[in-house]
Amino acid sequence: MEHYFDNYKRQLSLLLDRNRTLKYKYAIFKAVKPDDIVIDFGCGTGILGFFALQAGARHVYAIEETSIIDYAKQLANKNKFTDKITFINKSGHELTKQDIPQQVDIILSEPISNLLLEGNAWSAIEHLKSFLKDGGLILPAAGTLFMVPVNSAPRTFYDSEFFIGEKNVYNLDFMELPRHVFYKSTLDETAWLSKPQPLLQFNLLSDTLSDTFRNSIKFSIHQSGQLFGVEFFMNVQIFGNITLTSRDQQEYPSWSPLFAPSSFNPYICRGDLLRITVWNKVLSPYKCEWNLEFTHHSKLLLFNDTWWRAESAIPTLAPGVILSDNGLLFLHRDEFSQYDCDTELEWDFIQLFPKKLNCNEICQTILQSEKYSLSHEELMDNLIQLLHKLLINSLIDLPIPSERFQVTNFHSKIYIP
């Protein structure tokens, strides 16, 4: 069975990422001291172990469970490293003191995917810590995986949606293809519905590493929009101040942010609360299942919610929105006389609507109430619907008590093939 990295083309794509490779080289040259003993776990082509030898390491144990290790041996021979490097064709979990008979100064690895966790590599590194001297180092040193809810989907998602779940594409039926996979994300920060929050944070040396996790993050929504899913991106500290991030795809093309589509796409308003609980399950060394549980606390109350009709509701929502006995909305003539409103309306005051807001819709709502002889109750319904629209468009903030928020739960299951 071929593993993900048991392929020269995949290894070459990593080697061709010069910014990523040179940052690792720079970090290794700063961390490795003369005569250090080093483990290169998941060595691939052996590049990190070769850097350690160039930096002065006395010996490197290169661990690789796939057949790419044969190519690494050829490179070691060609670069005259053979007598300073021991290749071990095993899983990191299976290593014993017979394989590595001495304590080591540094563990090098790159157990990093676009979601920070890479298969079962983290538990293997935890096992390898038993070979590390007191005061030893692990490179990379730390990593953080961020997530943020987004109001749109990347082009890769829409391109695939053309096929997935559709009939009569190329005169074939694609209805059975799975939808629940991660997509490369090209979204910018304007798509963020909230501030990114750290989902996972690891210090590889001091933390107990595991391949699975569960964490729950609460987001306060700062712009209104429709929830399409979640974007994930990671930052990695290799050594000291040497870092890299998957947000910078031009500088580090080996990694990219990932988009996970949500199974439900509700409208979310500024001031709403969104809790996302994430957990994963390792299905095989290079296949994982990620679960996302969404809990949305929305202040978009239903039109028939009794709170709207409370005596103080409308003035509480907006001190300037007043309904008279005959169903008219009073505004301040000096502020809004430029709008095309009926001259018979009485204008009193306005405190709710920002001056940039075009009040023609409000005026039209009132005019229709006069034209069609709407009742006070009917006008109230129309104004509540208008407040909903303004709320969705982030033009007003409604101080609806949090205990009145509507709670919706939905779940997404995403796979890493």
Q: What is the pLDDT of residue 20?
A: 86
**Nearest 10 degrees: Cα torsion 257, 261, 265, 268:** -20
Q: What is the pLDDT of residue 141?
A: 95
Q: What is the pLDDT of residue 317?
A: 42
Residue 379: CA count within 13 A, CB half-sphere: 25
H or E element, residue 231: strand 229-239
Q: How confident is the prediction along the chain (417 residues), in pLDDT tens digits per residue? A: 344 444 556 666 676 778 888 999 999 999 999 999 999 999 988 999 999 999 999 999 999 998 889 999 999 999 999 999 999 999 999 999 999 999 999 999 987 888 888 778 889 999 999 999 999 999 999 999 999 999 988 877 766 655 555 555 566 665 555 557 888 888 999 999 999 999 999 999 999 999 999 999 999 999 888 899 999 999 999 999 999 999 887 777 778 899 999 988 888 888 889 999 999 998 877 678 999 999 999 877 665 667 666 655 554 444 344 444 433 344 444 444 444 444 333 333 233 344 444 455 555 665 666 666 766 667 667 766 776 666 666 655 666 777 778 889 999 988 875
Return d(Cα 319, Cα 315) in angstroms, integer. 4
Residue among 116, 414, 111 at smallest CA distance from 276 = 414
Q: What is the CATH number of domain 142-298+406-417?
A: 2.70.160.11
Residue pair 234/146 in contact (Cβ under 8 Å)? The answer is yes
Helix boundaries (H) for 112-173: 121-128, 155-161
Strand order in the sheet with 273-284: 214-220, 273-284, 287-298, 406-416
Kindly report the three-state secondary structure assignment for every residue of 54-97: HCCCCEEEEECCCCCHHHHHHHHHHCCCHHHEEEECCCHHHCCC
Residue 145: CA count within 13 A, CB half-sphere: 22
Sign of the CA dihedral 262, 265, 270, 273?
negative
Kindly report the backbone phi and psi dihedral angles of residue 267, in degrees, each rounded to the nearest multiple of 5, phi listed first.
-80, 135
Q: What is the pLDDT of residue 224?
A: 84
Q: What is the CATH number of domain 1-110?
A: 3.40.50.150
Per-domain residue ranges of the chain? 1-110, 142-298+406-417, 306-399
Taking residue 165's Cβ as centre, other Cβ atoms within 10 Å add up to 13
pTM over 0.85: no
256 alpha carbon, distance to own chain's centre: 11
Residue among 258, 131, 263, 84 at smallest CA distance from 183 = 258
DSSP strand pairing (287-298 vs 225-226): unpaired
